[in-house]
Structure 1
Amino acid sequence: MTPMQLDLNLLTALDALLEEGSVAGAAERLHVTAPAMSRSLGRIRRATGDQILVRTGRTMTPTPYAIAVREQVHDLVQRARGVLAPSREIDLATLERTFTLRWHDALVALSGPALLAAVRRQAPGVRLRFIAESSIDTPELRRGEVDLAANADPPTAPEIHADRVADTRHVVVVRRGHPLTRDRPLTAARYAAAEHITVSRRGRLGNVLDDELTRLGLTRRVVASAPTEAAALAFVRDSDLLVTAPESTTRSLATQLELALLPLPFDLPPAPVYLSWHQRYDTDPAHIWLRDLARTALADAADGRNQAADAKEAGTARSMT
């Protein structure tokens, strides 16, 4: 029998035979019959050209060759078991790994600092690489070049898994003193009649807002698109344009730019946040750990922004009564 023809299961049998020193003991250890173990010993003898165990009286004695390879065989068996049944525990204190995350730019600004802080507290040897989204759909998740993606798009490929980790409502952002700020409450007709800028990394001028306005018998005028919310807010700050964007990812920067946030004057499903990864990482302990931290960071940020907005609106309502 050549090495390529060797049944590797015989290593397990050989390990048991050398540990137990008898056919009966090895058979009991591996939960097989004594005749089956005896046949395995015969195959091992033919493969190695050595007797392995020889009878001396009522006991079996390992040959010099068997004694010489005993530790090596045991080590091989343990390593094989480790490959086929890897440990699901990781030592975060000694973990060294670099994860690449392709997140929407607003999500990086909103949740990235909290995620990095949590990672550094638990696993100081782990590094995070946040990279910008592409203007086209790219296969980095499938190719293993990106570990985690986070944006509003659900995956379409079956091998990409995802969790919907957060939802946030849409708001209308305008400059202070914009004519719409004097329209209380803002109506859908006044909203549609204003000039709009959209946010799209692909340069799209339309989105789900237009579908909803069509159902209301209205049409808006979109005069431009911007690749990021930050860029769109820069246009809004110095014009009468308005942008409609997720509240949780927009409020902080809008406040810094002294812009006004208005409630959307019609119902629109909340903007989702999906955390996506390739199925190859489903059972990877380190990836599972990072996914859990990312879920928490994204959900907490969205929840915190929504609660802050609710509190502000409640306070405004009380001050008007």
Structure 2
Amino acid sequence: MQLDLNLLAALDALLEEGSVAGAAARLHVTAPAMSRSLGRIRRTTGDQILVRTGRTMTPTPYAIAVREQVHELLHQVRGVLAPSRELDPATLERTFTLRWHDSLVALGGPVLLAAVRAQAPGVRLRFVAESTTDTPELRRGEVDLEANANRPNAPDIRAEHVGETRLVMVVRQGHPLTRARTVTAQQYAAAEHVTVSRRGNLSNAVDDALARLGLTRRVVAAAPTEAAALEFVRGTDLVVSVPEITARTAAADLGLALLPLPLELPSAPVYLSWHQRYDTDHAHTWLRALARTALATCGAS
């Protein structure tokens, strides 16, 4: 039997997207063409692959069983057929989508953009906001590179530890805590606080550390980004605890004061994450190298 490798790509897209329309959009073909490919796959495998359940389509037990194998096979085929020539960034025409933590965008983004513009003027960068929920954009190819404190658990997502940063507290100049020779945990807990949480959480690891000392703090607000939280702090006696790489720049730009956090907390890691399909992609490898340098420059080390 003669096999069509295009069916492998179609099957991978169908299993990833769970719909004919989604798979068609991913492979840039029409929905009728993808429907015909699904029909050929069904005839070849003797399995329905996807079955309709109401308004959605559900993978069959066979489809679930072979999903990872299909994905790995397609990755291997692309690796074999991929050109091995050297990359010339000056001639590269490509758009990369990056989902970085907002503080890393603010600090490392300009450094990365400057390097990309100098080496590859045909490359464009799309920085998109972090989602409030865990999303599969890396797997679907909608995001090329992530940078945040979370190490992904999915086996097909690569993660590289590129640095560490510690938490510090940030207050306005003239805040009562700035007059203390050394801020104690009790003084810290007695202040009113702002948390930073894209999910709106009013507690975090700081509260756990305080609880171990028998202390609690009063959190009066949760801000979705560190930039917003720092604005809350700017004209009040509120306190926010953020990564030092953010706070150092904010202190200069907003006239804020940095103080050591009087708690024992582990450093926050910084990870770069991408899908394994880009392991041997020359352009993606080039971008990752520039991203590492940009993050190191802004202090994530």
The aligned residue for residue 72 of structure 1 is none
Amino acid at match of 2:206: L
How many angstroms does 1:82 deviate by?
9.5
Deviation, 1:194, is 0.9
Could you say which residue in structure 2 is the equivalent of 1:38? none
1:152-231 alignment, distance < 5 Å = 152-231=149-228
Give 1:84 deviation, angstroms: 2.9
Partner of 1:20: none
Partner residue, 1:300 = 297
Amino acid at match of 1:264: L
CA RMSD, aligned part only?
2.3
Cα distance between partner residues in 2 of 1:257 and 1:118: 27
- Distance in 2, matches of 1:266 and 1:281, equals 40
Output the TM-score relative to the length of structure 1. 0.67
Aligned to 2:68: none
Which 5+ residue runs of structure 1 have no aligned equivalent? Answer: 7-79, 307-321
Give distance in 1, aligned partners of 2:126 and 2:246: 20
Give the aligned residue type for 1:182. R
Change in Cα spacing, 1:208 to 1:285, as seen in structure 2 (3 Å) is: same
Question: TM-score w.r.t. structure 2 length?
Answer: 0.72
CA distance in 2, matches of 1:198, 1:142: 30
Give the aligned partner of residue 291 of structure 1: 288
Q: Runs of 4+ in structure 1 displaced over 4 angstroms?
A: 80-83
Q: Distance in 2 between matches of 1:239 and 1:219?
A: 21
Q: In the alignment, what sits opposite 1:256?
A: 253
Look up the equivalent residue of 2:83 and give its one-letter code: P
Partner residue, 2:24: none
Identity of aligned residues (%): 74
Deviation at 1:196, TM superposition (A): 0.8
Q: Distance in 2 between matches of 1:203 and 1:267?
A: 24
Task: Tell me if the contact between 1:229 and 1:250 (Cα under 8 Å) persists in the aligned partners.
Answer: no
Partner of 2:130: 133
Any conservation in 2 of the 1:110–1:249 contact (CA below 8 Å)? Answer: yes
- The equivalent residue for 1:99 is 96
* Higher Cα radius of gyration: 1
For this pair of structures, how many residues does the alignment match?
230
- Aligned partners of 1:288, 1:99: CA distance in 2, in Å? 12
Q: Deviations over 1:233-267 (max 9, x none)?
A: 11111211100000112221232211111011122
CA positional deviation for 1:158: 1.9
For residue 15 of structure 1, what is the aligned residue in structure 2? none
Counterpart for residue 12 of structure 1 = none
Alignment CA distance shift 1:260-1:5 (3 Å) = closer
Q: Structure 2: how far apart are the matches of 1:231 and 1:257? A: 12
Q: Which residue of the partner structure matches residue 60 of structure 1?
A: none
> Who is 2:274 aligned against?
277
Compared CA separation, residues 139 and 5, structure 1 to 2 (3 A): closer
Amino acid at match of 1:290: L
Give the 3 Å change call, closer, same or farther, for CA 253–82 of structure 1 in structure 2. closer
